[in-house]
Amino acid sequence: MIAVSGRAPFAPRGLAPRGAPFVAILLIGFVLFLTGTPRHWGYFAAAAVVAALALASGALAPWERLPGIAAVAVPLAIVLSIALLREGQGGSLSGYGALFLLPTLWVACYGDRTQLLIVLAAMLVAYWLPIVVIGAPYYPSSQWRGGGLLVLIVGLFGLTIQQLLFDLGAEEGLRADAERRLREASAYELHDDVVQNLTVAQLALAVGDGERAQSAVDNALKVGQGIVESLLSTQTLEPGSLVRRDTDHPS
């Protein structure tokens, strides 16, 4: 997985808020089915059932107890749903091919490289298998070229997105480490100030200079208060808090 530190493996349940725009576009695709022709309702119903099961499993399945690779089942099911929707409205002429971008870009943003490659392969099968099984006029031979080029382009963008997120995560980790080191250095300096003021107070008391001792103690208290306020108000950015990725490079 790509990331900075300790992120949980990609799982659809944790991505529900982030996946909302993708789901919304998918639903728009189903609604647009009502406006086009031909309309084969059997394929529409099958596509709707597959999509509903995929989204429900994404929300309810115990992904934390399953292998990380299992999460790819959800985008794969969405690929199947889109293929059925496409078949239900005239195949390659339906215009639904663009919907295949949804599961691939989702995995590009929130999955790892292995999951992305699996979804890209499924997308390629969804484009090419109907050419062999059904053929023209619904799936003309030009789809060999069109489907292959689309998968190559989406794959390039997907891998680029993952690399950019990895780089962003690495920068986030470096910044968090720099902030931690800066706070530690500041704490040491403040600690030295406290020790020096208390030493002055002790020496002042030894020579009977109570006023100077009181002043030194007051300064030590102020510095100590500054340390506490700094610790309470400054929240170090935890690595991975903005980019939910793991410590390893894309694999």
pLDDT, residue 242, reads 43
pLDDT, residue 122, reads 92
Q: What's the rounded Cα separation, in Å, for the pair 116 and 166?
A: 15
pLDDT, residue 187, reads 62
pLDDT, residue 233, reads 56
pLDDT, residue 140, reads 83
Sequential pLDDT tens for the chain (251 residues): 333 333 334 555 555 566 778 888 888 988 888 887 788 888 899 999 999 998 888 877 777 777 778 888 889 999 999 999 988 888 877 888 888 998 988 888 888 888 899 999 999 998 898 888 888 888 888 888 888 888 898 888 888 888 888 878 777 777 777 777 766 666 666 666 767 777 877 777 777 777 777 887 777 777 777 666 665 655 544 444 444 444 344 44
Q: What's the rounded Cα separation, in Å, for the pair 99 and 75?
A: 12
Q: What's the rounded Cα separation, in Å, for the pair 191 and 228?
A: 11
pLDDT, residue 47, reads 92
Q: Is the peptide bond before 103 cis (omega within 30 degrees of 0)?
A: no
Ordered by start, the domain boundaries in the chain are: 12-167, 175-233
Q: What's the rounded Cα separation, in Å, for the pair 86 and 100?
A: 10
Cβ count near 177 (within 10 Å): 13
pLDDT, residue 198, reads 74
Structure tokens at 78: 């969405």
Contact 26, 84 (CB under 8 A): no
Q: pTM of the predicted model, to two decimals?
A: 0.64
Cβ count near 70 (within 10 Å): 13
pLDDT, residue 237, reads 46
